[in-house]
Amino acid sequence: MNPSRDPATLPPEFTQRLERLFPPHIYERVLQSFSSPKTTTFRVNPLKTDASSLQKELESLGFEIEAVDWLPGAFRLLDPDQRRALTESGAFYEGRLYIQNLSSMLAPLILAPRPEEQVLDLAAAPGGKTLMMAGMMENRGWISAVEPVKERFHRLKRNIENAGAEIVHTYMKDGRSVGRACPAMFDRVLLDAPCSSEAKFSTLNPKSYAYWSPRKVKESQRLQKRLILSAWQSLRPGGRLLYSTCSFAPEENEAVVDHLLGKAPDAKLLPIELPIDNQMEGLVGWEKKRFAPELERARRVLPTEEMDGFFLALIEKSL
């Protein structure tokens, strides 16, 4: 095996945790996913064109693409050698398409924002999920997109302007303070939390996991716990919060949602129906810690050749 594709190059403590997390047959699939290049997937920007027109435009330029059957408006690029050309296409530069992993598209899909609603994206950069929500809302309503890091904030702003998402309003602000500043203001809140990004690790890019450690996981969890409480405070009664990460770590996923459930008696975890087979229920315990039984309603997306690992939990605030 080419050393650059060898899962053994991953941090041993990380792979040992995965082995405890997944059954053997799933563990092997997850481990191999770190050594495989992901299929490029993208979606139409309905604020600028429609799926049929985009498909015709790209196919006329020679792109080999295929519609994703379970997600209208999403496509996969069949020829990996065409990825660079796709990023140099007019459709890309002019905002008619957005390159995004299918797992990331699930978060807006499950949160399901509607036209005229007030929506908060609490950790928005680079803006893919924000823009997908703006399209779902038909550019009607209000989206507050929050990002504290200056460089990421400006990238977010450029992407939003390029996509024509007029209902998105950007704020360079620490998400931990938003709940106090905007209590009970939003119908729906998306918190795709900053995390250890374990699902983005690739043996083809050792830098992707060079700084991973259990300490990094715990640091991420501390931030996530504060962010989810801020998100909850900003949510109206009857509203819904979607919490997601691209980490496998239970400390960053079920444990964070469990923290909210322990602090908020008005929080109810809702069942999630995903249109994919590569999924498993949320955990109700990890190592010696037990979580609320309803955490099984959360969902873990298992990595495939075209999907990253992902965690999703949908929580409703009682009226």
- Binding site feature residues for S-adenosyl-L-methionine: 123-129, 147, 174, 192
Q: What residue type is 282 in one-letter code?
A: G
CB 310 within 8 A of CB 199: yes
Residue 182 annotated in active site: no
Q: Annotated binding site: which residue ranges?
A: 123-129, 147, 174, 192
Phi and psi, residue 203, nearest 5°: -70, -15
* Cis ω for the linkage preceding 126 (within 30 of 0): yes
C-alpha 212/C-alpha 91 separation (Å) is: 36
d(CA 306, CA 68): 11
Cβ atoms of 35 and 15 closer than 8 Å = no
Spot the catalytic one: 122, 246, 257, 301. Answer: 246
Cα–Cα distance for residue pair 33/1, rounded to 1 Å: 15
| Closest among 134, 115, 114 to 124, alpha carbons compared | 134
Nearest residue to 191 via CA among 234, 227, 148, 161: 227
134 token code pair: 């703006």
Q: Are strands 299-301 and 41-44 parallel, antiparallel or unpaired?
A: unpaired
List the catalytic residues: 246
